[in-house]
Amino acid sequence: MTYVDLIFFPKEKPTSIEIESEVTVVGKTGAEMESLNAVVTAALTIYDMCKAFDKNIEIDQIFLIKKTGGKSGQFIRGKYYT
């Protein structure tokens, strides 16, 4: 990996936080898995910090938005481009 970034977007209604990750790699590896793992880890960290206030916290809708390069070609949410 040559680059990893996490961006947090707090939302007021409903009270939530959107987490976005961007990963860049040089080698032939599943960068999307690293990016998804970063989002899951961030979400679990937030859950752990907030569970004392509310145990009804939900983690949901974790998905890949965009991927370029690799054997499978370009992917943009729901579509492959080869």
Q: Catalytic amino acids?
A: 48
CA distance 8 to 21: 9
Contact (Cβ atoms closer than 8 angstroms) between residue 81 and residue 73 = yes
CA distance 72 to 49: 38
Instruction: Give residue 50's Cα distance to chain centre.
Output: 19
